[in-house]
């Protein structure tokens, strides 16, 4: 039985995803990709999710179920701060289907991931938000999070990652 977390939202259950949920996780990934106008970038498959999340244990997923229906999810993983000398949590995705927004589900998911970070002794929890996504930015700031003004996200992917990995 998957671990469940208490929430203050009537009718909401948040639970750890199980291997049998890979199709559901992929559906939610497509949902956030559509919202972020990045549908063409999704290459994940049920098998790649099963391997990465449940076999290799590279990430964890929380599923939010509202009145018995899947309402959203949060996907997070651990990273490490050399300055602090401890692991932290990185929130890769948090998403609630449009028909379930405004019910406190996103807030409950964010709080749940933060509680996990605190329970695990993490010094911080990080995530990024698209610069045009002002509703999410306002939501995060209302929850007490602040944008980091001094750090820029850099990424090497696809061919550039291969080039970088092959440099001498």
Q: Which residues are known to be catalytic?
A: 140
Distance CA 21, CA 69 (A): 13
**Beta-carbon count within 10 A of 98 CB:** 8
CA 80 to chain centre: 17
Q: Give the DSSP H or E segment for 108.
A: helix 105-119
Contact at 8 Å (CB) between 70 and 64? Answer: yes
Distance CA 4, CA 9 (A): 14
């Amino acid at each position: 039985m998957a671990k469940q977390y208490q929430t203050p939202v009537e009718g909401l259950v948040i639970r750890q995803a199980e291997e049998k949920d890979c199709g559901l996780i992929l559906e939610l990934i497509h949902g956030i990709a559509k919202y972020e106008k990045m549908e063409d970038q999704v290459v994940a498959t049920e098998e790649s999710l099963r391997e990465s999340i449940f076999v290799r244990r590279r990430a964890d997923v929380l599923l939010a179920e509202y009145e018995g229906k899947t309402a959203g999810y949060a996907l997070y993983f651990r990273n490490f701060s050399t300055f602090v000398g401890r692991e932290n949590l990185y929130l890769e995705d948090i998403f609630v289907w449009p028909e379930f927004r405004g019910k406190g589900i996103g807030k409950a998911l964010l709080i749940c991931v933060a509680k996990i970070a605190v329970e695990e002794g993490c010094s911080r929890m990080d995530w990024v938000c698209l610069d045009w996504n002002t509703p999410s930015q306002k939501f995060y700031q209302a929850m007490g999070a602040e944008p980091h003004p001094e750090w820029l996200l850099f990424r090497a992917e696809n061919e550039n990652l291969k080039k970088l990995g092959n440099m001498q």
